[in-house]
Amino acid sequence: MSEAKRRTVGRPASTAKASGGHSQSLVRGLTLLEYLAASPLGLALSDVAEMAELAPSTTHRLLQALQSQGFVTQENEQGLWRIDVKTFRIGNSFLEARDVVATSRPFLRRLTAETGETANLGIRDGVTAVFLAQHESPQMMRMITRLGSRAPLHASGVGKALLAWMPDDERAKLLDGSELARVTANTLYQSDTLQMETEQIRAQGFACDREEHAIGLHCVAACVFDEHGTPLAAISVSGPVARIPEARLLTLGALVRQTADEITQQLGGQVPR
């Protein structure tokens, strides 16, 4: 197997060597599943054995056991091994059961503890962002958003983060050359300006709201993604300009982006490159 291929596939989080009370065969079998799941085009027996650092005979025995239970299958023509439908069903059940709000709550609490500001989570609904979860700042002056309230995509931190990562055709339809509503004097409402803004958001990984939704309020936000790299939601940190001046926006933005990436990983998602 080529060195390039080895670097592309990498090693899974689990190891082929069992430890503690774990069953060695079980751990090895799960390791093989991880390698096959990372190689949608399939792998030859020799490649799987080399990646798992197992003898070909041992690897073949494990693959046959997985095949008998419907977890993997082998092509007749090239003899490549792939994951089978049962593995897909198990993975799909995880996707159906995941709850972005419940998963995000401890991360929102952590953001508030680290920043001293209110942390929010919102999703896209048409041309607006809807706020579903919040952890309030302990400060007397703080940002509070009523759960279920909405903000325009183009005029809020959460909304702009979601807007930037929308599919290109949907975003183009929204920014079709018409001027959008101005919520404050700082709202970006012209399509060409917003298009440049979305490019900047995608480049840095987070959006900034500079008093565009409410005068005196600054906000930074970043997206949480599903397994296809499509936005599931966005999280944000918001607070008064006096505590979040321009100089602090980039620092907070990097922290929010990192936290959003952690939530994405926990949900089994993938951050777009």
Contact of 95 with 269, CB cutoff 8 Å:
no
pTM: 0.66
pLDDT of 10 > 60? The answer is no
Average pLDDT over the chain reads 84
User: What span, in angstroms and rounded, lies between the C-alpha atoms of 191 and 122?
Assistant: 23
Domain ranges of the chain: 3-96, 98-266
CA 45, 48, 52: angle at the middle one, nearest 5? 140
- Report pLDDT digits (tens) over 80-97: 998 887 776 776 555 454
Give residue 178's pLDDT band: very low, low, confident or very high (50, 70, 90).
Answer: low
Contact of 157 with 220, CB cutoff 8 Å:
yes
Mean pLDDT of 176-197: 85
Mean pLDDT of 19-41: 78
pLDDT of 11 > 60? The answer is no
φ, ψ (nearest 5 deg) of residue 151? -140, 145
CATH class of 98-266: alpha beta
DSSP label at residue 165: T
- Tell whether domain 3-96 is in CATH 3.30.70.2860: no
Residue with tokens 């993975």: 91
pLDDT of 25 > 50? The answer is yes
pLDDT of 22 > 80? The answer is no
- Report pLDDT digits (tens) over 197-208: 999 999 999 999
User: What span, in angstroms and rounded, lies between the C-alpha atoms of 220 and 250?
Assistant: 8
- Report pLDDT digits (tens) over 233-254: 999 999 999 999 999 999 999 9
Give SS3 for 17.
coil
pLDDT recorded at residue 4 = 36
